Amino acid sequence: MALSLTETWQNTLASIKTWAFTNSPWAIHYNSGSCNGCDIEILATLTPRYDLERFGVILQGSPRHADVLICTGPVTLQSRDRLKRTYEQMPDPKFVVAVGSCATSGGVFLGCYGVVGHIDEVIPVNAYIPGCPPRPEAIIDGVVKLLQSLQKK
Amino acid sequence: MKAVLVFIDGILADWRQRQHLGGMPDFYKREVVMKDMPVAGAVGCMQELAQRYQLVYIGARPESAQAVTEEWLQAAHFPKGPVYTARTHADRLVLARQLKDQFEFAGGIGTRWNDNQLHLELGCLSIILKEFEIEWDTVRRYLLGKEYTALQTALTLLTPWAKATSQPETNRLDVTIEANDLIPAVKAIHASHWGYLAAITGLDPATPAKPAPAGQTAVAEGTLQALYHFCAGAIIVTLRTHTSRADARLTSICGVIPAASLFERELSEMFGITLTGLPHPDRLLLPDEWPDGVYPLRKDFDPAQIQLKPVAVASNGKNGKSGKFIVPIGPQHPALKEPGHFEFEVDGETVTGASVRLGYVHRGIERATEERNWTQNLYLLERICGICSHHHAFAYALGVEKLAGVEAPPRAQAIRELAAGLERIHSHLLWLGVAAHEAGFETLFMYSWRDRETVMDILEAFTGNRVNYSVNVLGGVKLDMTDEIAASIRRGLDFLEERTHHYLKVVTTDQAFLRRTRGVGTLTKEQAEEFGVVGPMARASGLTRDIRVESPYGAYKLFPIEFVMETAGDLEAKFIVRLRELFESYKAIRNILDHLPVGDLTARMPRKIPAGETVSRVEAPRGELFYYIQSSGGEMPARVKVRTPSLCNFSSVLQVAVGHQLADMPMLLAGIDPCFSCNDRMVVINGDETWTWEQLRRYGIEYYKK
Amino acid sequence: MNILGPIINVLFFPAGLFVLIIGLAYLWVDRKLVAQFQNRIGPRWFQPLADVVKLFFKEEVVPDGVDARFFVGLPILALAAALTTALYVPLVGLQGAYNFPGDLIVVVYLLSVVTMSLALAGSNTASRFSLIGATRTLTQLFSYEAPFLLALLGPAIVAHSWQINTINTYAGTHWILLTQPIGFVIALVGLMGKLELPPFDAPEAETEIVAGAMTDYSGRGLAIFQLAKAVEMVVGLTLIAALYLGGIGNPIDFFAKTLILLLFLAGLQSLFTRFRIEQTVKWWRYAALLVLAQWVIMVVLGQGVLS
């Protein structure tokens, strides 16, 4: 009896936790070598046409406040450590979304001497959003899919 | 584009070889006419004129000779233009009245007193010259004016040091000088206020030394070149210096032109040229971990050489530097949508010093261009920057077409200008929003981005993508303009024009906003000139710098842009200039849609581009974009050098920052509309340029002593 | 009963759970209104709740070089101070749970404790952004504190009482807004300053110093600070409505008046560009002078007319 009670409690707690996380993903944006194309599209998702705040997404300035790290661009030598550091500053649980072809695969910049590679060579990535650049709708879709995958867990 | 009326007989054609046939029927016989020689210097001068003017040819010949006249002009390589014939002076007067309605004439060139009457009828400048012995310089002086004078002045200035001089294109002067003469030559240009330093290009023309036998180090052979490009209006003067590859060494010109420091750092880091006298010769271009002695743009660079050296992790705490309180902005910072690292040294809320470290987006694109073919590069270069992607491709395509001797068809050129206009609209509205966001005016940010979606929709309907739209191909464009899209563009522009009026009213009348912009970050005309500022930054400070007006390229000759200028130089002026430029873009786009030339979209381009080098400049939304392209005749470029507008503008903001409030910093940075990905494609600039007030003062005093 | 009453008062109603829920709801109304003014749809109704719950589940990072006791304790102090004030104001039109002569002064100072603990939290971290944020918070506190207090004391003078309930009753028959318009405006704007809402958000200006004093807080600390601010907003709005807008006599009064005030706040937030900190200070210097001028007029004329 006691066991099942705690189990119920734990289940309820877990479902509250999932609910809160899926409904309040605060994001932080890091450009590790992008051409700006993805960055302006990410910014566009906040603006009236797309309005990501509908889903509770707020772009935060401090990594300490953020749950989702949105990365754009291939990782350059110079920004590799900064990307890692930003990721490490985020409190758990945390998720990473790679936005754009370069972030997912290196894109046209693959093979350039200043480029280390794609995002998941440096930090683990939870969702990939391809496109050059992906449309704001695609970015929203990617974030929503990430949230849905959390719910299933 | 204005027109020039050119008389054929006696000015272009030396017909004396058929004088003996005068009055006889054979006088205009095809075989005879085709033997006419062009007057000395005529073809060259006409080609120069054609850069600026539409040439209209007129001949005192019977109508029957029209066809042969056209054929002769073409055979002698005169620029294209309509050809008219009228036998008698009275007929020519009648013709002139008709022509007056068709063209706007800037001048006429003739050989007889009554040609003058013709020109009076047209209401234009009349140049009457001696038959067969034309002084072309007179024509140039009056019709090419400033540019011609600029070219001659530069030539005179540089003659004492010139080892070799050539004029590869009508607007370019290439002067080879000894490395030792660099400083006096640069001083001469700078002292006479001839133009500004637009870029420094490094070249490695030598083939790499053969791999040395084991145990010995390979000795590099040959020479490296450094090209100093100075621009004044449409004229580009290139100072070419050589230095030995084994011991590459040049004198820094920072003592003469302080703004050159960023260019020189790039040169030294990428080519391993030691610049003696460079104020901050420390590591500036490449990642912190980059090994010493590896220069990525030398031809013998091998990525395998990159063996990263460990670097102490920068401490996150207070810098021990004499207890100064330093506020870092970036690389991850909400004010920057892109990474760059600024350090502001503050005393309370007041900024006492500023420095910048870029390179977080340094990917190495210039090197990559040399490993991709001409067409692939178009798409690579487009991705230097997502905001001004079209302008990068535009500049590159124009340059490559110039090298190949191919001209894109008029319709393609017009579509390119149209796309450039749309890109400018999207970029300026984006900037308006970001700048408002930096100021903490979220509502303006939201509104301007909402309206920006209109132009994004247009771009998407027209090109299929919202960003990185790939309008260009080499030799033309790949997208046609349909009536349907044209109508939607017109609708969108009407809406945007109305909104732009509103925004202009907001930024000039909203008191709370004006408190953050008026009189803040003022860059005087003198400062702007000294720092070599370009684009809207320069135009907000009263400098007349706009490539579209000064040196019209592509369709800008046909669909010109008016110059927008403010003189205050503060943040408010930067807002006003950018917003007023939007009106110019709306006007130009409507003009293009109304008079879109018909015809092909592409001209055929060769797969291999003939050897040669060229400079291509376009006015991107942020300012002058400078491309230097060199071909060795192969399928890939030998060198593509990109100098982006933000690079010119950075140094100015660091100087202006001192003395301002910390709260103004994001806005000041936004004021230049910095584009880090543009800069860093090749360049990492490390500024340990922490200027204190005293240093700035001293610099100011010393500077004005000169 | 005697023990149960206060416990209920402190934990559930009017302080405690109840005011927290109202606070979150008002936070949502504020965000929604601002979004609407900015032509956006805005967050869903449970958004602030989800944010806070999520933050409670997040990992709490205590940065190196920080006094952990203060780091954890200060947010709690802020929330405690904010919740205490809720006991003295006429929430939902009911009399304050407790009152005594002079409770107005106590409430105003407890509200300042919220700000003070935020500033202390900022100066307790190693981050330079927090430090600047804390400095700015304090600068701003010192500049608006005097005019804000003066503006709230205006009604107290005419009501001849320092007790919120008495003033509230007095205000029920006198719309003090009409006789002391300057005081009202300054009290409202002062509240914006206290809450660090735009355009007085220089202490947490995102583009300059990331998130100001709260830059290094994550998880619980951040959540508690947010709750404290939400409660502070409700209490502040209630105070101003009670003192200036004809008092609060019943729940309809309460919701109508505070929500109208909130509408004004949201409008002001979206209309202006952020003031630089020295501009804010200058603004408040004039505000203080204005309120003083109003006082002088009140004292000279008021003896006969207003009382």
Residue C42 forms contact with A (CB below 8 Å): yes
CB < 8 Å to C128, chain B? 318, 325-328
Q: Do the Cβ atoms of C129 and B440 come within 8 Å?
A: no
Residue B300 forms contact with A (CB below 8 Å): no
CB < 8 Å to A63, chain B? 332
Percentage, residues of chain C above pLDDT 70: 85
Q: Which domain holds residue B502?
A: 365-700
pLDDT in tens, B78-95: 888 888 888 888 888 888
* Overall average pLDDT of the C264-286 stretch: 76
- Tokens representing B309 are 């050296």
Indicate whether B180 belongs to any domain.
yes
Kindly report the CATH number assigned to the domain that includes residue B37: 3.40.50.1000
Whether B293 and B415 share a structural domain: no
Q: Please give the helix or strand (H or E) that residue A129 lies within, else none.
A: strand A127-129
Beta partners for residue B175, in sequence order: B165, B239
Instruction: Round to whole Å and give the CA distance between B230 and C151.
Output: 64
Q: Do the Cβ atoms of B512 and C38 come within 8 Å?
A: no
Kindly report the CATH number assigned to the domain that includes residue B593: 1.10.645.10
Indicate whether B162 belongs to any domain.
yes
Q: Within 10 A of A141 (CB to CB), how many other CB atoms are there?
A: 14
CB < 8 Å to C271, chain B? 443, 512
Q: What is the structure's pLDDT at B702? A: 43
State how far residue C221 is from chain A, nearest Cα, in angstroms: 11
State how far residue A139 is from chain C, nearest Cα, in angstroms: 18
Answer positive or negative: Cα dihedral of C226, C232, C233, C235: positive
Neighbours of B, requiring at least 3 CB pairs below 8 Å, are A, C
- How does residue B425 score in pLDDT terms, banded at 50, 70 and 90? very high
Indicate whether C43 belongs to any domain.
yes
Indicate whether B324 belongs to any domain.
no
Whether B78 and B170 share a structural domain: no
- Tokens representing A13 are 């707690």
Q: Which domain holds residue A102?
A: 2-152
Whether B530 and B611 share a structural domain: yes
Whether B406 and B530 share a structural domain: yes
The tokens 């409670």 sit on which residue? C56
Average pLDDT, chain A: 82
Whether B126 and B199 share a structural domain: no
pLDDT in tens, A95-142: 899 988 888 888 788 777 778 888 888 888 888 998 888 888 898 888
Kindly report the CATH number assigned to the domain that includes residue A57: 3.40.50.12280
pLDDT in tens, B267-294: 888 888 888 887 766 566 677 777 777 7
Q: Do the Cβ atoms of C46 and A23 come within 8 Å?
A: yes
Domain count, chain B: 3
Indicate whether C246 belongs to any domain.
yes
Instruction: Round to whole Å and give the CA distance between B666 and B434.
Output: 10
For the cut 50, the answer to whether the pLDDT of residue B322 exceeds it is: no
DSSP annotation of B362 reads: -
Beta partners for residue B630, in sequence order: B613, B639
Instruction: Round to whole Å and give the CA distance between A30 and A27.
Output: 10
Question: Which value does ipTM take for this structure?
Answer: 0.87
Residue B445 forms contact with A (CB below 8 Å): yes
- In this complex, which of A47, A54, A61 lies closest to C44 when CB atoms are compared? A54
What are the angstrom distances between the C-alpha of C186 and each of C151, C180, C181, C294? 6, 10, 9, 11
Which residue among B94, B111, B134 closes a domain?
A: B134
pLDDT in tens, B564-620: 888 888 888 888 898 999 998 998 999 999 988 888 888 888 888 888 889 999 988
Indicate whether B329 belongs to any domain.
no
- How does residue B694 score in pLDDT terms, banded at 50, 70 and 90? very low
Q: Which domain holds residue C220?
A: 4-301
Whether B623 and B504 share a structural domain: yes
Indicate whether C131 belongs to any domain.
yes
Instruction: Round to whole Å and give the CA distance between A9 and C271.
Output: 47
Mean pLDDT: which of B246-255, B473-482, C153-162, C166-175 is highest? Answer: B473-482
Whether B539 and B578 share a structural domain: yes
- In this complex, which of B363, B380, B445 lies closest to A74 when CB atoms are compared? B363
Residue A74 forms contact with B (CB below 8 Å): yes
Residues of A at the C interface, defined by Cβ within 8 angstroms: 16-17, 19-21, 23-24, 26, 47-48, 51, 53-54, 56, 60-62, 64-65, 67, 89, 91-93
Alpha-carbon B124 to chain mean position: 31
Question: Beta strands of B282-363 (E only): which ranges?
Answer: 325-329, 341-347, 350-357
- In this complex, which of B440, B447, B664 lies closest to C198 when CB atoms are compared? B440
Domain count, chain C: 1
Residue B453 forms contact with A (CB below 8 Å): yes
For the cut 80, the answer to whether the pLDDT of residue B364 exceeds it is: no
For the cut 60, the answer to whether the pLDDT of residue B377 exceeds it is: yes
Indicate whether B318 belongs to any domain.
no
Whether B585 and B647 share a structural domain: yes
State how far residue C35 is from chain B, nearest Cα, in angstroms: 9
- Residue by residue, what is the 3-state secondary structure of C88-134? CCCHHHCCCCCCCCCHHHHHHHHHHHHHHHHHHHHHCCCCHHHHHHH
Whether B663 and B587 share a structural domain: yes
Query: Concatenated DSSP letters for A53-88?
Result: GGGT-EE-SSGGG-SEEEEESPEEHHHHHHHHHHHH
Whether B115 and B170 share a structural domain: no
pLDDT in tens, B530-553: 888 888 888 888 888 888 888 888
Phi/psi of residue A27, nearest 5 degrees: -115, 155
Mean pLDDT: which of A80-89, B498-507, C179-188 is highest? Answer: B498-507
Q: What is the structure's pLDDT at C208? A: 59
Residue C216 forms contact with A (CB below 8 Å): yes
Phi/psi of residue B160, nearest 5 degrees: -55, -25
Residue A148 forms contact with B (CB below 8 Å): no
Q: What is the structure's pLDDT at C127? A: 66
Indicate whether B82 belongs to any domain.
yes
Whether B167 and B284 share a structural domain: yes
For the cut 60, the answer to whether the pLDDT of residue B339 exceeds it is: no
Q: What is the structure's pLDDT at B321? A: 40
Chain A's closest residue to B682, CA to CA, is A114
Whether B130 and B173 share a structural domain: no
Indicate whether C306 belongs to any domain.
no
Interface test with B, best of A43, A51, A52, A77 (most B CBs within 10 A): A77
Closest alpha carbon to B638 in B617, B618, B612: B612
B328 preceded by a cis bond (ω within 30 of 0): no
Residue A34 forms contact with B (CB below 8 Å): yes
What are the angstrom distances between the C-alpha of C242 and each of B305, B475, C161, C268? 75, 74, 14, 21
